[in-house]
Amino acid sequence: MLLRIILFLIAALLFGAHFFRAGNLVMVGLCLLAPLLFFLRLRWSLYLLQLSAYGAAGVWLGTAIGIVELRRQSGQPWLSAAAILGAVSLFTLIVGLLLNSRTIRQHYP
């Protein structure tokens, strides 16, 4: 269970860095505070954490599509950006799926 929480923390930090680069400090704060929901041990907090991971994966995917499109239009190389952001999106999606495991659900009545 600790590994799943650590993976979520990494995903939240990556997502916070995304918003920090954009200058959105409110979202940075939310990303940093989200892992504290693990301490509540309530089912709705687990659902909220899962939803945030799935939403973050979607934002990463949208960002990847936007950057790839922009780079292709300007003639810049885009494959590495697509691979990196695609991997981050996949990682975040897997983190959300891991939060749906039986091991973690047993701790959230």
What pLDDT shows up at residue 23? 96
Reduce the DSSP state of residue 42 to 3 states and report it.
coil
Contact 73, 45 (CB under 8 A): no
Cα of 50 vs its chain's centroid, Å: 10
Q: Give the domain ranges of the chain.
A: 2-105
Q: Which two tokens stand for residue 39?
A: 């301490």
Reduce the DSSP state of residue 32 to 3 states and report it.
helix
- Model pLDDT for residues 18-77, shown as the tens digit of each residue: 999 999 999 999 999 999 999 998 999 999 999 999 999 999 999 999 999 999 999 999
Contact 3, 69 (CB under 8 A): no
Q: Is the pLDDT of residue 103 over 90?
A: no
Task: Say if pTM beats, i.e. exceeds, 0.75.
Answer: yes
